[in-house]
């Protein structure tokens, strides 16, 4: 097996993974609850960037903090679901989504070509 040609055939795959990484770094995902009364913005790296609470929701929660807690929880869960759907929930899903659309035939051809020698 020619390692040089194998490494060269990985170029498009590596490029696709870099593109996916850049997309993830630039992503902002917004989860909402209560018809938009609470929204939470997450980065692609799962950092909370912003929490917004509508004044009416804050006023309504002045007597019942648990209602506001539930809305925040639901908005965060919504953002996390969107993140998983877009980027994958497990490392395996993330890899599959990263390689989606990548042409693996050149890599497989390089691997398969080396077995008969």
pLDDT, tens digit (0-9, with 9 covering 90-100), for 12-45:
777 877 888 888 889 999 999 999 999 999 999 9
Note the pLDDT of residue 26. Answer: 93
Note the pLDDT of residue 102. Answer: 61
CA distance 87 to 91: 10
In this prediction, residues 49-77 reach a mean pLDDT of 93
Assign domain 25-87 to its CATH architecture: 2-Layer Sandwich (3.30)
CA distance 67 to 65: 5
CA distance 37 to 58: 9
Note the pLDDT of residue 101. Answer: 63
Note the pLDDT of residue 11. Answer: 74
pLDDT for residue 114 is more than 80: no
pTM of this prediction? Answer: 0.71
SS (H, E, C) 22-55: HHHHHCEEEEEEHHHCEEEEEECCCCEEEEEECH
């Amino acid at each position: 097996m020619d390692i040089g040609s194998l490494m060269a055939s990985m170029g498009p795959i590596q490029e696709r993974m870099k593109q996916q990484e850049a997309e993830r770094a630039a992503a902002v995902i917004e989860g909402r609850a209560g018809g938009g009364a609470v929204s939470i913005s997450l980065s692609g790296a799962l950092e909370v960037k912003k929490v917004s609470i509508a004044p009416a929701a804050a006023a309504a929660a002045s007597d019942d903090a648990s209602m506001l807690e539930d809305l925040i929880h639901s908005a965060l869960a919504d953002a996390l679901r969107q993140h998983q759907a877009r980027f994958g929930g497990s490392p395996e899903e993330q890899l599959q989504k990263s390689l989606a659309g990548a042409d693996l035939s050149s890599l497989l051809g390089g691997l398969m070509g080396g077995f008969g020698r």
